Amino acid sequence: MSVHVVLIDALNLIRRIYAVQERPFLMNNELADNTKQQVLFNTQQACSQALSKILELQQPTHALAVFDSIKPCWRYALYPDYKKGRKKMPAHLADKLIDIQDAFMEQNVDSLISEEDEADDLIATLAIKVALRGQKVTIISTDKCFLSLLNQNIEVYDYFNRRYLDHHYVKEKFDVRADQLLDLWTLTGDSTNKIPGVAGIGQVIASTLLNQYGSLNAILVANDLKSSINEKLKKHTEQIELSKKLLQLKQDIPLGFNLKDIRLTEMSHS
C-alpha cells in the first residue's frame, strides 16, 4: 500500500482560523472578556472541521499536526531581532491549544510539539525523511518557506485557497526554481520573519541573477557582475551568511517516533 503522509503546520492553520473567528467580535482591536470563550469555542469547532476536510481531500495513510516549541527557537540566539514586531499569539488562544490538540486526537491525528525547534524545521526533517524513501508527503501550510522543499515526492497545499503551491506557482510568483528559493530569499531578505537581505537587491535583480548564474555561490564568485552589484554583495558578506543560516530549514532533527506511530486507522477518515 502506498504511503501518503500529511504534515499540518498547526499554528499556521489555527491562527488563521482564529483570526477569521475573532474578526466579527473585535472592538477597538480588543476582545471583550465575555466573547473570548465564544471565539475560542468557534475556533476549536472550525479547526476540527478543517482537519476533517483535509483528511477527506488528501486521503492520507499517516498524518501529524506539528506545533512550535514553547520556548524561543535557536534562530533567536543567532539573531535576536528574528520575527521582531510579529504579533504574539493571544494568551487565551495559547491556553486553548491543548483542547484543540485533543480535538485533533479525536480524529486520530496526533500532535508533535518540539522542545526547541520551530514547527518548520520539524516538518522539513520529517518531509525529507519520508520523501527519501520515495513516499509521498503533503505539507498543509501557507508558509512560503516550505516551497524550497518541493520535489517529486513533496507537495505543499494551501488549505485556505484550496490550491497546491507547486513549481508553476513558484515560477510565477518568484521567477526562480523551487531549489533556488533559499538563495533568492538570502539576497532579498524575508520581511515576514524580519530576516534582512542585501540592501538594494530586490526580487527582480535577485531572480535575474539566479536565472543567469544558477546559484548564490556562483553569483558570489562571478567576475563579470556589474560593479554596483558586486559592491553590495561584498559589503554584505556576513549578512548573507547569517541570513542563509536563518532561512535554511533544519533537516536532521532526531525524531523520537516512527511512521507507524502516526498511521491513521481506517476509521479516521471513513
**Cross-strand partners of 63:** 6
Contact 141, 15 (CB under 8 A): no
Per the annotation, does 140 bind a ligand? no
DSSP codes of every residue in 114-161: -SSS-HHHHHHHHHHHHHHTT-EEEEE---GGGGGG-SSSEEEEETTT
Per the annotation, does 126 bind a ligand? no
Per the annotation, does 120 bind a ligand? yes
The three grid cell numbers given for residue 168, joined into one nine-digit string: 508553476
Sequence-ordered list of residues with C-beta below 8 angstroms from that of 62, at least 6 positions apart, any chain: 3, 4, 5, 6, 259, 262, 263, 264
Q: At what angle do helices 181-188 and 237-247 cross, to 10 degrees?
A: 130
Per the annotation, does 54 bind a ligand? no
Per the annotation, does 201 bind a ligand? yes
Bind-site residues for K(+): 187, 196, 198, 201
Bind-site residues: 120, 187, 196, 198, 201
Bind-site residues for Mg(2+): 120
